[in-house]
């Protein structure tokens, strides 16, 4: 128990480095990580090496009842949901939303473990402007330190599965919105994201990336365990489970559902205005959302697709060869056998 009377939760999972041979292959493809990768617990959650140092801090983080967390496997509609939540909770103040980056309004709980010390040095050596150097320094710090000091309502993004989230979230009654998206669209978008972020620095082709994804060797994997944990938690009173596919099919309905979960009332006109603000076209033009501050710091590559892509459902992009599509079909069938979980588009 700490000095404030809060119960301290000891991290309950074993952390081990991946096999040496596998690690060397991964480091050859993911240039943003310089040390290696770890796997956590019996589920073998996959993370860069810095997770080992931060695990106790993540798990022991003290949530507040007023917190709102958006959780998902990467590329499942996280950014879309974050902006929706922030706007609903802040009186649809689009001017305020556009004036401050979403990364600041809605901190990414575990981002710092992807900022390897050697990559941070590289970014700093490439940027001499004091404000940019300060930004690099700030995003390299653990978000839990920033959040502990926050006095206003906290909005927190995470890709951690439910089993690795701080137990204090559920004890405090903090709100958690979990978003799931089908694996076909996730893996294509995730491939492009890992090429975009130099902190990941993926340099292989899509076929190799898909193989890592299916073998649970991409950050925050295993994918199926992740989404099934979210699904299992859907009946908890402080959890709202959503499908990305439903968001795409009927955004106004989703906005109303999220507003109700957050104890907010929106008029039809407000729902319409927020729907327009959240459109893919608006997102691509919104500097507070599309990572301009990350591009300026050279954390994002400029010669690959940007952070906000096309947001499609059931992707048929060139990466999805018939062979990989069949592998996804079989993999999905195997992992959903005996489960009541099903994506709306499958």
Q: Which residues pair with 71 in a beta bridge?
A: 158, 178
**Which is higher by pLDDT, 279 or 290?**
279
Mean per-residue pLDDT for 102-109?
95
- What are the strands, taking DSSP E only, across the chain? 15-17, 37-40, 45-48, 68-72, 155-158, 175-180, 239-243
| Sheet of strand 155-158: strand arrangement | 155-158, 68-72, 175-180, 239-243
Domains of the chain: 65-336 (3.40.50.300)
Of the candidates 159, 192, 226, 277, the residue annotated as catalytic is: 159
Residue-wise pLDDT for 256-276, tens only, equals 999 999 999 999 999 999 999
In the chain, the N- to C-terminal Cα span, in Å, equals 47
Q: Tell me what the pLDDT averaged over the chain comes to.
A: 93
208 catalytically annotated: no
Residue-wise pLDDT for 50-100, tens only, equals 999 999 999 999 999 999 999 999 999 999 999 999 999 999 999 999 999
Instruction: Give me the phi and psi of 309, to 5 degrees please.
Output: -105, -125
Sign of CA dihedral 76, 80, 83, 87: negative
Distance CA 227, CA 297 (A): 33
Confidence at residue 305, expressed as pLDDT on a 0 to 100 scale: 58
Residue 177 CB contacts under 8 Å (≥ 6 apart), including other chains: 68, 69, 70, 71, 81, 85, 239, 240, 242, 258, 261
162: DSSP letter: G
Does pLDDT of 307 surpass 60? no
């Amino acid at each position: 128990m700490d000095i404030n009377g809060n119960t301290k939760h000891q991290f309950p999972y074993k952390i081990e480095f991946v096999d040496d041979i596998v690690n060397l292959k991964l480091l050859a493809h993911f240039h943003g990580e310089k040390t290696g990768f770890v796997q956590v617990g019996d589920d073998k959650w996959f993370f860069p090496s810095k997770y080992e140092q931060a695990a106790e801090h993540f798990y022991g983080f003290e949530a507040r009842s007023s917190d709102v967390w958006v959780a998902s496997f990467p590329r499942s509609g996280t950014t879309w949901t974050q902006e929706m939540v922030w706007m609903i909770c802040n009186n649809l103040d689009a001017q305020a939303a556009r004036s401050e980056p979403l990364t600041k309004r809605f901190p990414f709980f575990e981002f710092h473990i992807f900022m390897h010390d050697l990559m941070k040095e590289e970014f700093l050596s490439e940027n001499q402007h004091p404000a940019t150097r300060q930004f690099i320094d700030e995003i390299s710090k653990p978000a839990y330190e920033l959040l502990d000091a926050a006095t206003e309502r906290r909005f927190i993004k995470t890709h951690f599965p439910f089993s690795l989230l701080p137990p204090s979230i559920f004890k405090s009654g903090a709100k958690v919105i979990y978003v799931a998206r089908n694996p076909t669209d996730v893996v294509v978008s995730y491939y492009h994201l890992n090429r975009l972020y130099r902190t990941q620095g993926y340099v292989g082709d899509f076929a190799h990336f898909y193989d890592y994804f299916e073998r649970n060797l991409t950050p925050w994997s295993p994918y199926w365990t992740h989404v099934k944990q979210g699904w299992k938690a859907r009946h908890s009173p402080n959890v709202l489970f959503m499908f990305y596919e439903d968001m795409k099919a009927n955004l106004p309905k989703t906005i109303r559902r999220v507003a109700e979960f957050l104890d907010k009332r929106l008029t039809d006109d407000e729902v319409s205005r927020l729907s327009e603000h959240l459109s893919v076209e608006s997102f691509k033009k919104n500097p507070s959302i599309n990572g301009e501050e990350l591009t300026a710091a050279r954390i994002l590559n400029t010669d690959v697709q940007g952070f906000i892509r096309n947001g499609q459902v059931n992707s048929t992009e060139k990466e999805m060869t018939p062979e990989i599509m069949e592998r996804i079909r079989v993999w999905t069938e195997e992992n959903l056998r005996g489960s009541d979980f099903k994506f709306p588009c499958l």
